[in-house]
C-alpha cells in the first residue's frame, strides 16, 4: 500500500423507462478536478480530508516517511468507498479493507478514520512525488466493485495484505468504471467528494538528521583507478560537478557501488542513499565537504552526476 490520484469527458445519458414514458436521467459528471460527480441534487453529503487540512479544501504537503491519516464523514448512514490516485495514475482502494477498522458502513455524523485506532499499522508516505487525490464515494446502498477491485488474486488466492487488488489504472478509467457501478442505484442516493495532498521532495517530521561528522577533512591524492566493468573513470576530483553517460549491461547497484567506492576512497562517508524508479542518489560527507552521487538508468543507459559543495 505504501509503495507509493486526469482527463475530462461526459458519458452518454442513461435512458430510464417508467411505464409508458421514457425519460433521460443525467449521467455522472467526470472531470479532471473531481473525478466523478453526481449532477442530481441529493440530501446525502460526504466529506473527506487529511490530518493536515481539516477543511478538505487545501493541498497540504507530506514528505517521504511522513505518516498520514484520512478522515471521512456523512450526514446520513451510508457506505463509503475511499480511493487514492497517485501522480502516476496508480489507484488504491483504501476503504473497505480487511484490517480491524476496514468496514465501510459509516453512521450519520460519525467520523471514519484511516488508519483507525484499531488498526495496527500506519499509512506511510512514499514516492512518487506530486499530487495525490483521495476520492470519497458515499452510497445509501452497497455498491458492487467486482469490476474495479478484488480481494482475490488472479490465482484465486487472497490478495496480499489487507487491501484489494485494483483492476483499473488512472483517474479516467476509475471514473468510467465508477459511473457504471452507480448506474443501477437511484441517482439521489450517492454523492462524492475529493481531497488533495502533495508528496513533496525534502524532509518531513519522519526524517532523522544524521549525526554531524567531526570537521576533519582528509586530503587525498587519489591514484587513477582502473576502469571497472568498462565504466568511465571518475576524474573530477577538483570539479564541483562531474558528469558522464554510458551504456552497460551491469546492474544499477553495481554502477552505484563503483562510484560510491570512488568517493569513499577520497575520505567521504556515505550518510544517505535513496532509490526510486530508475533513479538512485546518495549523499557523502567529509568534514564540511558534501558530495552527492546521482544515477539515472533507462534501458541500460546510465547517466552519472557527482556534485561537490563546501
Q: Give me the domains of the chain, ranges plus CATH numbers.
A: 9-200 (2.60.40.2550), 209-310 (3.30.160)
Start-end of H helices in the chain: 171-182, 252-265
Digitized pLDDT (tens) for each residue of the chain, 310 residues in all: 544 432 222 223 222 222 223 234 678 988 777 899 999 999 999 999 999 999 999 999 999 889 999 999 999 999 999 999 999 999 999 999 988 889 999 999 999 999 988 888 888 998 899 999 999 999 999 999 999 999 875 555 555 578 999 999 999 999 999 999 999 999 999 999 999 999 998 776 666 656 665 555 544 545 555 566 778 888 877 788 899 999 988 888 889 998 998 888 888 898 989 888 889 999 999 888 899 999 999 988 999 999 988 7
Residue 28 sits at the vertex; the CA angle it makes with 26 and 33, to the nearest 5 degrees, is 135
Could you tell me the end-to-end alpha-carbon distance of the chain, in angstroms, rounded to an integer?
39
Neighbours of 37 (CB within 10 A): 16
What is the spatial distance between Cα 108 and Cα 10, in angstroms, rounded to a whole number? 31
Half-sphere exposure of 29 (CA within 13 A, CB side): 12
pLDDT at residue 52 in the model: 94
User: Is residue 88 a contact partner of residue 4, using CB atoms and an 8 Å limit?
Assistant: yes
* 253 CB-near residues (< 8 Å, 6+ apart): none
pLDDT on residue 157: 52
Cell of 4: 507509493
Distance in angstroms (rounded) separating the CA atoms of residues 101 and 118: 6
Query: Model's pTM, two decimal places?
Result: 0.60
Q: Measure CA 182 to chain center.
A: 26
| Long-range CB contacts (within 8 A, 24+) of 290-299 | 291/263, 293/256, 293/259, 293/260, 293/263, 295/252, 295/255, 295/256, 295/259, 297/252, 297/255
Going by C-alpha positions, the residue among 279, 271, 260, 266 that lies closest to residue 238 is 266
Contact 61, 118 (CB under 8 A): no
Instruction: Kindly report the number of other CB atoms within 10 A of residue 168's CB atom.
Output: 19
CA 181 to chain centre: 25
Residue labelled with grid coordinates 507530506: 62
Task: Give the Cα separation of 200 and 53 in Å (integer).
Answer: 16
Residues with Cβ within 8 Å of residue 15, at least 6 apart in sequence: 22, 23, 24, 25
Amino acid at each position: 500500500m505504501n509503495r507509493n490520484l486526469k482527463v475530462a469527458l461526459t458519458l452518454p445519458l442513461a435512458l430510464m423507462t417508467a411505464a409508458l414514458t421514457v425519460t433521460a436521467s443525467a449521467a455522472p459528471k467526470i472531470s479532471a478536478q473531481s473525478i466523478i460527480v453526481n449532477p442530481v441534487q441529493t440530501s446525502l453529503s460526504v466529506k473527506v480530508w487529511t490530518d493536515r487540512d481539516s477543511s478538505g479544501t487545501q493541498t497540504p504537503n507530506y514528505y517521504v516517511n511522513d505518516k498520514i491519516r484520512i478522515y471521512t464523514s456523512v450526514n446520513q448512514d451510508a457506505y463509503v468507498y475511499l480511493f487514492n490516485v497517485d501522480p502516476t495514475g496508480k489507484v488504491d482502494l483504501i476503504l473497505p479493507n480487511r484490517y480491524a477498522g476496514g468496514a465501510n458502513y459509516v453512521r450519520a455524523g460519525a467520523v471514519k478514520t484511516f488508519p483507525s485506532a484499531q488498526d495496527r499499522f500506519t499509512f506511510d508516505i512514499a514516492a512518487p512525488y506530486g499530487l495525490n487525490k483521495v476520492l470519497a464515494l458515499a452510497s445509501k446502498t452497497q455498491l458492487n466493485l467486482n469490476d474495479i477491485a478484488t480481494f482475490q488474486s488472479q490465482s484465486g488466492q487472497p490478495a496480499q495484505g489487507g487491501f484489494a487488488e485494483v483492476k483499473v489504472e488512472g483517474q479516467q478509467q476509475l471514473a468510467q468504471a465508477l459511473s457504471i457501478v452507480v448506474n443501477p442505484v437511484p441517482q439521489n442516493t450517492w454523492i462524492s467528494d475529493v481531497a488533495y495532498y502533495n508528496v513533496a521532495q525534502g524532509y518531513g517530521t519522519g526524517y532523522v538528521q544524521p549525526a554531524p561528522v567531526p570537521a576533519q577533512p582528509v586530503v587525498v591524492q587519489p591514484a587513477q583507478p582502473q576502469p571497472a566493468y568498462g565504466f568511465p573513470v571518475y576524474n573530477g576530483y577538483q570539479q564541483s560537478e562531474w558528469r558522464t553517460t554510458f551504456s552497460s549491461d551491469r546492474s544499477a547497484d553495481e554502477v552505484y557501488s563503483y562510484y560510491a567506492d570512488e568517493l569513499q576512497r577520497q575520505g567521504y562517508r556515505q550518510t544517505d542513499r535513496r532509490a526510486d524508479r530508475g533513479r538512485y542518489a546518495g549523499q557523502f560527507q567529509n568534514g564540511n565537504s558534501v558530495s552527492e552521487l546521482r544515477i539515472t538508468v533507462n534501458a541500460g543507459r546510465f547517466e552519472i552526476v557527482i556534485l561537490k559543495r563546501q
